[in-house]
Amino acid sequence: MKRKRTPREYTGIPASPGIAIGQAFIYDNINFWIEEKDIPTEQVDHEKVRFINAVEKVIKEIKSLRDSLELKVGRENASIFDPHIMLLQDPAVIEETFEIIEKGKCAEFAFFRITRKIIKAYKRVEDEYMRERITDIRDILRRVTSELLGTDDTSLLNIVSPVIVFAPNITPSDTALMHSSKILGFVTDTGGRTSHASILARALEIPAVLGVKTASSEINPGSMVIIDGNRGNVYINPDSATIERFEEEKKKLEIIRRSLDELKELPAVTTDNHRIGLHANIEFTDEVDAVLAYGAEGVGLYRSEYHYLVHDKAPGEEDLYNDYFEVAKKLAPRPVIIRTLDLGGDKISHIIPSEPEANPFLGWRAIRVSLTLKDLFRVHLRAIVRASSLKNVSVMFPMISCMDELNEALGILDEVKAKLKSEGKDFDPDMRVGVMIEIPSAVMIAEHLAKKVDFFSIGTNDLIQYSVAVDRSNDRIANLFEPFHPGILRLMKMTVDAAHAHSIPVAVCGEMGSDPAAVLLLSGLGVDELSMVPSFIPSIKNIVRSINMANVKKLVTEALQCETAKEVKKLIDKEFRKTSKEIKKVKNKRQKKKGKKKKTKEKSLSR
């Protein structure tokens, strides 16, 4: 394929935030072929021994990789290597490879043929989770054949200068090798938010953009590349102005990161003393460290799907409880909001029996799944309720579209609590309950919903998707996914007004909550809390501390009169310029104060 040399831009899925600038390294872990080689009959036994030795060596290698990964990202994430080990220990796989060797073929070809057969079978399966296992099998194939052929399989480890890795796909073990400072970021042709690579990239804090379709086959190794993991953009051979812009942004992010400690202890209050809660969105237990490090006041959204996406069977109550309780205990007394399952849409779990749907985002998703699979829902709720014993856990229902769904979910929650009480289990009887506002019909009945719950959390990712009718994962129409659409502002205003009329708080936990420009609008709208990827918190706190409530309220009044998103953005830009000046002022003040403190300390020491 002809490789392009001209400047080029790609858009993919922003899988892991951060900016990386560097040279491209093409890592093709898919397209390799093992030649068919005949062996004499007397070599068959030797070939079998060679194969078994290679398999054992790879198992050992994977186990040690799993152990070292466990230290970094915890047992839960590291367990992604278990299917690798299981496959290598599968007697049928060994037996079938032996059969081909017995037909006079070399071990590497025999194993290649068997794994290709398994991959073919997996490709026919509709289930996304099963199809994702193909990546694991390719990983195993690469490792075993490299061992047999005595070739180096450490291409990622052998990288000597920092690079941005481009690959058709990234396997879990590839990602585990990426903690090396030599890997600045990565871009893959396939994969989504639920793929292993994406999950681990976030946990390891490596910027990544996934699902960039043909990128790995279209670019030259060594090309200059910028990846913007916050927005999902990839720039190939960018011009010097673009490089400068991103170097600037990267520097700014690094400065903010460095001033983290200063900000950590400071409250997120506006210049006129209005407090806005800044909370974290997490998906794994292990992210608790990041929640604390970035100074979040709590967890505003614990997406609980992960357990149901990476394991072979539905997690049990004890496993879930241990996980949730660990998070609650580590963060107590900070609040932790656990959202019940949001499977379906783009999060396909093989645990849930489902048929392919024409419109998955409009289909059997989130609370609809929970209310159908009630036993599964009960187990999940039992774990969440039990984890509330320290009184800092809340539960939240996703994708509520009508009162009936909320009433039914609340009914099941009451049942679960009554049963736990009769069993003498410890829990918080006053555990707060919230709903996500992410469907326009829920906005329209917000005043009724508000009477039944303790808080709202606006899921802007879905609220925009369902209001503007734009599939949030379809990059062809991504330009229509418009957070500043005046219609969206009105929907949010209605939600905030309904909540406040019933004295309950409103959070925003969609991506909009971590968009600096949007923060001006959201605070002006009266949103009480923002919840986001932990690493975004310091920069958003910086903005909050420079906001003047009277100004942003005025901004919202004007924005609500706008006809187009463009007009809204223009207004925000104007206000943003003022806020930026204020940010500088606030920062200078802080640094002066720090300088004074330092001088006083030096004086007292010299006395």
Binding residues for ligand PEP, per CB under 6 A?
301, 303, 342, 438, 459-462, 509-510
- Known catalytic residue at 196: yes
List 191, 345, 459, 526, residue binding Mg ion (CB under 5 A): 459
Residue 303's binding partner among Mg ion, ligand PEP, none (Cβ under 5 to 8 angstroms by kind) is ligand PEP
Residue 79's binding partner among Mg ion, ligand PEP, none (Cβ under 5 to 8 angstroms by kind) is: none
Residue type, 4: K
Q: Which residues contact 90 (CB under 8 A, 6 or more apart)?
A: none
Residue 529, binding choice from Mg ion, ligand PEP, none, Cβ under 5 to 8 Å by partner class: none
Q: Which is nearer to ligand PEP, 163 or 301 (CB)?
A: 301
Q: If contact means CB under 5 to 8 A according to the sort of partner, which of ligand PEP, Mg ion, none does residue 509 touch?
A: ligand PEP
* Positive or negative torsion for Cα 201, 202, 204, 205: positive
**DSSP 8-state assignment for residue 179:** T
How far is 443 from 437, CA to CA, in rounded Å? 7
Residues in contact with 72: Cβ distance below 8 Å, sequence separation at least 6, in sequence order: 179, 204
Q: Which is nearer to ligand PEP, 47 or 342 (CB)?
A: 342
Residue whose C-alpha is closest to residue 179's, from 205, 153, 159: 205
Catalytic residue among 84, 196, 279, 350: 196
Our CA angle for 466, 234, 174, nearest 5°, is 100
Choose among ligand PEP, Mg ion, none what residue 460 binds, the Cβ cut-off being 5 to 8 Å by kind.
ligand PEP
User: Least distance (Å) from ligand PEP to the CB of residue 218?
Assistant: 30
Q: Is 402 a catalytic residue?
A: no
Q: Do residues 509 and 301 touch, judged by C-beta distance below 8 A?
A: yes
| Residue 71 to residues 68, 174, 369, Cα–Cα distance (Å) | 5, 17, 34
Between 405 and 462, CB nearer to Mg ion: 462
Look at the block and give the residue holding tokens 């107590």.
Answer: 332
Residues 341, 370 contacting (CB under 8 angstroms) = yes
Helices (H) and strands (E) in the chain, counts: 24, 16
| 538 binding Mg ion? (CB under 5 A) | no
- Taking the complex as a whole, how short is the minimal distance between the CB of residue 397 and Mg ion, in angstroms? 11
Indicate the residue among 244 and 357 with the shorter CB distance to ligand PEP. Answer: 357
Amino acid at 147: E
Structural contact between residues 327 and 336, judged by C-beta atoms closer than 8 angstroms: yes
Among Mg ion, ligand PEP, none, what binds residue 528 when CB lies within 5 to 8 Å by partner kind?
none
CB of 339 to Mg ion, least distance (A): 9
The one segment of 82-90, 170-178, 454-462, 520-528 that binds Mg ion by CB under 5 A? 454-462
Residue tagged active-site, from 84, 106, 380, 509: 509
Catalytic site positions = 196, 509
User: Which residues are at the interface with Mg ion (CB under 5 A)?
Assistant: 438, 459, 462
